[in-house]
Amino acid sequence: MKLTYFPVRGRIEPARLMLELVGARYEFEAIPMELWDGPEGKAQFLQITPFGQLPVLKDGAFVLCQSLAIDRYVARKLDLYGSTIEETARIDEVTEIANELLLEVGLVCFGPNFHEVRAAHRASTATKLDLLEKYFVRTSADAEHWVLPGRYTLADATMAFALESIWPLQPGLLDDFPKLQHVMKAFFSADGVRSYVRSDRRFRTWTVPSAAFGGRSEETVHWSD
């Protein structure tokens, strides 16, 4: 399996976290932004990107784009997507909530009025995290897993990344939600994931340098012992 994306964590990170979790072998091609933005790069990479966008997954002869489709494909392939229709539905529910949180982080980080909207984002996110923690208490499998007892899924990977993405953008906010912080930290301490997020194989920034926030190493979470 091969993943192609930019040299940032971004929208491909949940897929990478799942692959690292189970120790699956995969190749990662990082396309420099300056090459992607240039005319030669566009012409070159349009041959491998069905819609002229990244990320792209290639698994043998099978090529897939769109980050959420890639996440679900990887989850199914690695048996991280539940075994019943009810389990899969719950995984989808949690994953969609996580992706909504990620979308909102992205809108703030790439918005033209970053400093003006950051405070509003903190307030609205606090409300959502309060509801999310209550949801977690009501529906979670256990204190360290969102859906399946003792087993991580697509939901755990995506939600952990979403909460991690909020952490530097809104310092101290997760401290108000200890159960969410605990389940996030548990995932990032899991075998496979733990070594990956502490290695130089994980990119140092959440997104590209042109973003108002998240494109610099000091604006991104780095795990250490």
With 80 as the cut, is the pLDDT of residue 91 above it? yes
Angle, CA 96 vertex, CA 217 and CA 149 arms, to 5°: 95
Please name the CATH architecture into which domain 2-79+196-219 falls: 3-Layer(aba) Sandwich (3.40)
With 90 as the cut, is the pLDDT of residue 33 above it? no
Query: What residue ranges of the chain are covered by domains with CATH 1.20.1050.10?
Result: 85-194
Round to whole Å and give the CA distance between 217 and 214. Answer: 8
Mean pLDDT along residues 163-167: 98
User: pLDDT > 70: what percent of the chain?
Assistant: 100
| Three-state DSSP class for residue 28 | strand
Round to whole Å and give the CA distance between 5 and 112. Answer: 24
Query: What residue ranges of the chain are covered by domains with CATH 3.40.30.10?
Result: 2-79+196-219
User: pLDDT > 90: what percent of the chain?
Assistant: 88
Q: What is the CATH number of domain 85-194?
A: 1.20.1050.10
Mean pLDDT along residues 98-118: 95
With 90 as the cut, is the pLDDT of residue 140 above it? yes
Identify which has the larger pLDDT, 36 or 100: 100
pLDDT of residue 25: 97
